[in-house]
Structures are given as C-alpha cells and as structure tokens.
Structure 1
Amino acid sequence: MKLNEGFLDSMKEAFARFKEHDPAAATDLIRRALSGESTHVEPPQAQRPERAKVDTTPFGRFHKTRTETDTAVEDRGHFSRKSYANAAGQRDYKLYVPSGYRGEPVPLIVMLHGCTQDADDFAAGTQMNTLADEHGCIVVYPIQPQGANPSKCWNWFKPADQARERGEPSLIAGITREVMASHSVDPKRVYVAGLSAGGAMAAILAQTYPELYAAAGVHSGLAAGSAHDLPSALAAMRGGQRPGHAKMTQPSRCPLIVFHGDADSTVHHANADAILRGFSVDTAASAAPASDIVSARKYTVRKLVSPEGTRAEFWTIHGAPHAWSGGSSRGSYTDPTGPDASAAMLRFFLAHPRQH
C-alpha cells in the first residue's frame, strides 16, 4: 500500500513544484516515482475515503446495493488467471465468467486498472463482477506488471503504446480476441473501460480499434495523444496540452461514457473535456435523465453527440477526488459516496451495441 499511496502523492508534489516554476524538480520527482525510488511524501488522508451509507434509487435493472459484508462474487462465478503473448510481449489477465453462463453469446467488458492496482484490487473496487453475474457478462482484467512500468501504470504516454497493433494496445486487443475465441461472446457487444492510466489506455483503444470495441468508458483518464513522454504526461495531467494537440485528437468513433471528479488533484478535470473534443450537446436527448441514481455527492450529466452521430455521456462528480465513483472501499482509489459509475457504464454499454 505504500507504493499505491505514495505514487499519487508524488504526482501532487510534482504539480506543486510546477506551480512554483521549478519544472526540473517536478520532472525529477515523477521520474523517481515511476522508477520506484522513494520520494518521501506523506500520504494525504483523503485518498481512501471511508465508506458512507448511501441509499441508491434503482434505475431499470442496474440497481446494485453495496455492503462491506457482501459475499465475494468470485464465489458465484469463475475468476481465473490466464496469460497472452504476441510480438509486443506478454501480459497476464484475470477472467470472470458469470455463474449463469451456459455458452450463449454474451457481452464482454475489458477493464483496465489504474497505477499501482492489479486485477483483484480493481475488481473489488469497481464491483463489476457483481454486475456481470447479475446481467450475464464476461469481464476480463488485463494486468500491467511492474516490469513494464514500475508503478504498474499502462504506458499511455509513450508513442510506442499509442498505435494500432503495436505495444500495449496490441496486447490488450489480443487478450480481447483470445477471450472472444475461447468463449461465446457477442462481437457487437464488446466494451472497454478503465481508471486513470487505464482510462487513458481505454481512450486509445477506442480510437485505434473501433471495429473491436462497441463503446468505451473513461474514468479520471486522459485523451488519446495527450502526451509523448513523461514531462508532457505530467503537463497533460495538470490540465495543459502541448501545441498542436487539438489538431491531433479526432472525435471518438465509438460511443463514450466519461466520469471525472471536479476536485481531482491528480488528473485535472479539463482532461475529460479533451476526451470529448468535437462532441456537442445532444439537444434531442438533453431533457432525458441519464439515470435515477441518487448519491451523497452531487453530479452533472451531459448527453453529447459528434458530427458523425456518435453518442457520449459526460458525468462530472462535484467534489470528487481521483477515485472510482460509487466504488467499494474493498478496493483502492474508490469514492463510495459518488454515483455508481459501474452501473452507469454497463447501462450505457448495453444500450450501444456496435452497429457495423
């Protein structure tokens, strides 16, 4: 847990150094954090919010009640570890097959964890396996090892890991295809979602594999092409962008649902706007509520559409930190008091099967 807490604390300290006009110190701090060296930053208490008792109003069939004493969903379905390799390398992954699976074509959700997390941690925090068991979905969690990144971040800021059929995008797409080949998956209902660095990688996959993923969920992440190295990654996380960035990013070709806390001090809320660059308010749908979720935190939902007709939802969680909204405190970087991001994402996904 020291690495988990220390990494994001180091990001905050680096931001402070930038504000003090000391970019050299900020760059050195992020370099040491990613290399696993100590940065001697005391962790803030707010990173692990205490679980609050929140009444959640059902919306459709996606209502989910969370308690700390829930039986582990892994006891109901089958959660196993597997491995995949291609020319870009090798990655392990955890695969959740729901207890009701009988070989009929089902949706597949690819879940990409954030820095310092792993598949078990991310599954516990998002409780996506619980929803998958209730609604008949397979979930796969690719695992980023420390050998690929000292803090287990997906390398969204490296050019070699931003292109189709190269680097980490090819590995994640390969895992997706392997699961589709080994199980009965509806090819029109394959989705990808992620948190933080995992959210940034989900945005890359949405751009580079629109024929594979029908929709994507980006929580507290960044737009594809936001950075090309560590210094530009740090600048992007602070809410800046390098010259010409707006020309590089085209609207996503697959539907998007984006969550971001407006009190996120790790990845600035402006990055959510960058992900949705090119989208505008969908006047035909703006009057319809996104859901009936009630949470302790206030939130705003905007329904958007691109010039090509691609749909999107933008959830701003007011006062929320860098954490999965509505998640369980059994996992790291969760905000149990927020609206249920997992349920909202699954609802959005299943409403948007691939059209071609």
Structure 2
Amino acid sequence: MLLPEQARRNNFNRCFNWYQRGDSRRAGGEPESIRQMIDAVQRAYPIDPARIFVTGLSAGGAMTSVMLATYPEVFAGGAIIAGLPFRSATTLLGAINRMRGIGSATAATLSGLVGSATDHPGPWPTLSIWHGSADRTVDDSNAELIFEQWRPIHGVGVLPDRTDMIDGYPHRVWRDMAERDVIEDYRITGMGHGTPVSTLGAEPCGVRGANMLESGISSTRRIAQFWELVGAARPAAI
C-alpha cells in the first residue's frame, strides 16, 4: 500500500488541493507527485501494472477523482468516499460551495472535463462511489455528480443494471457493453462524513476513529470485492 499525505506547507489543513488548476492536471502538481510515488513502488516491488487501484476520503476522495481523470491508464479502478467530481471547482470559494452542494456544472460538462483531461482512448478505471446520506461536510449530491461525470465515459445508462441491499444499505451497479461491472454506488443512510467501517460481528474490519464511522458495513472489504481482490459480496435483491 502506498499512502501519500499532504504537507502542511502546501495546505494548512493538510488536505489535497484538488480544486486548484495546477493540482488537477496531468504532468504537474500533486497528481504528478503521486504518479511518481506509484512509479517508485513499481520499481521497488513486483507490482502487477494491471492491478493498481486508488481510493481516498473527502479531499482524498476528490484527489482520487483527479487521479482517475488525469492518469486513467495507471488504474484498474478507484473508490471515491465522500468525495467530489473532477474539476467541479477551481477556486477555494467554489470548492466550499460545491462541498455544501451549491452550484455545479452540468453532467455533460463534468463528463467532458474527464474526456479532455488526457488523450486516453480507454479502457477506463472502474468506479466505486460511497457517501453518507447525513454528510454535513461534503453534501451527498456530489455522489450523484460523480456518477453523472463517469456514466458517459463508461457508456452506461441512467438506470442501474442491478439494485440490491448490502449489509442493509442500498447498492446500485452499472454494467458496460462487455457485461463488466464498471460503476457501483453505495449510499450509507444516516451516516455523516467519513469512511464506513464494521468493527463488530463475526468478521470485524477496521478500527473506529475520527472519520472512521461504525456503520455495520466495511467499505474496505466491499471495495476489495468490487475490485475482485477478495470473494464477492452476497447481496439481497430488492
């Protein structure tokens, strides 16, 4: 696992600067730095280049959006937890407003931003979207905008191909023309701003803490299942 972190001299709150133009483009700023870190890991270890994934929470989720858009050829998939769409803001004020659910480009414009970020022809990384319905830090409207941003990229329709319940939460899945699961969406009803963890029961995973919220579902385990790193989930159809 590679765990990039922000330096306070770059951002007082040690958040990624996902909304700044210089830090949301290919071959520059924070995305290039993270890409160089990935290169270093690949040189040091026998990494399968077809099995590299990226995930993050909040500003890390927004930076995950940036990495998937600016270096899509690097990643097999990404998971955005309580994050924001790629270039949905380009100023600090715009970022604050978008976090509050105020103002947004159209879905077509957002998708075009991904399409124009590189000359990548595909295939594109799969996407797992997670958001709490009671998030007061990053409004959950951003989850729908992330879906709308990537839906045309993957060529999927508005309606999901599968809807089920996983550990008591609604889960939607979209499949591409090759019958591959390419986008999934979890809305964790009643959860605030954070990563859902499940620390109880027969198979606990994770530790409760700041922004690590006990929810009875392990996002880590479910994301790993979506990426086919571990066995598949057992959904209950609805």
Residue 273 of structure 1 aligns to which amino acid in structure 2?
E
Residue 213 of structure 2 aligns to which amino acid in structure 1?
D
Q: Deviations over 1:287-329 (max 9, x none)?
A: 6x57xx53xxx41100024689771100000000001101644
Percent sequence identity over aligned pairs: 30
In 1: Cα distance, 2:177 partner to 2:89 partner: 25
In 1: Cα distance, 2:186 partner to 2:23 partner: 27
Pairing 1:138-157 to 2, within 5 Å after superposition: 139-157=1-19
Residue 197 of structure 2 aligns to which amino acid in structure 1?
G
CA offset at residue 188 of structure 1? 0.4
In 1: Cα distance, 2:229 partner to 2:16 partner: 28
Q: 3-state DSSP class of the match of 1:325? A: strand
1:178 equivalenced with 2:56 (yes/no): no
1:299 equivalenced with 2:172 (yes/no): no
In structure 2, the partner of 1:72 is none
State the aligned residue count: 206
1:256 equivalenced with 2:118 (yes/no): no
Q: 3-state DSSP class of the match of 1:216? A: strand
TM-score by length of 1: 0.54
Computing the radius of gyration from Cα coordinates, the structure with the larger value is: 1
Q: Is the 8 A contact 1:281 1:305 kept in 2?
A: no
Q: Is the 8 A contact 2:52 2:74 kept in 1?
A: yes
Pairing 1:309-348 to 2, within 5 Å after superposition: 311-326=182-197, 328-348=206-226
Structure 1 residues 210, 189: closer, same or farther in 2, change over 3 A? same
1:208 equivalenced with 2:70 (yes/no): yes
Structure 1 residues 248, 318: closer, same or farther in 2, change over 3 A? closer
Q: Is the 8 A contact 1:281 1:303 kept in 2?
A: no
TM-score by length of 2: 0.79
Unaligned runs of at least 5 residues, structure 2? 116-123, 199-205, 231-238
In 2: Cα distance, 1:310 partner to 1:205 partner: 20
Unaligned runs of at least 5 residues, structure 1? 1-138
Q: Deviations over 1:217-257 (max 9, x none)?
A: 00000000110011100111111234557413347831000
In 1: Cα distance, 2:215 partner to 2:21 partner: 36
Q: 3-state DSSP class of the match of 2:79? A: strand
1:229 equivalenced with 2:91 (yes/no): yes
1:194 equivalenced with 2:67 (yes/no): no
Q: Is the 8 A contact 1:222 1:275 kept in 2?
A: yes
**Ranges of 4+ aligned residues in structure 1 off by more than 2 Å:** 240-246, 248-253, 278-283, 305-310, 327-331
In 2: Cα distance, 1:153 partner to 1:161 partner: 12
Structure 1 residues 239, 301: closer, same or farther in 2, change over 3 A? same
Q: 3-state DSSP class of the match of 1:141? A: coil
Pairing 1:161-172 to 2, within 5 Å after superposition: 161-172=23-34
Structure 1 residues 307, 204: closer, same or farther in 2, change over 3 A? farther
In 2: Cα distance, 1:245 partner to 1:271 partner: 11
In 2: Cα distance, 1:256 partner to 1:243 partner: 20
Q: Is the 8 A contact 1:281 1:302 kept in 2?
A: no
In structure 2, the partner of 1:93 is none
In 1: Cα distance, 2:190 partner to 2:42 partner: 39
Residue 89 of structure 2 aligns to which amino acid in structure 1?
A
Structure 1 residues 310, 167: closer, same or farther in 2, change over 3 A? farther
RCO higher in 1 or 2 (8 Å CA, sep ≥ 6)?
Answer: 1
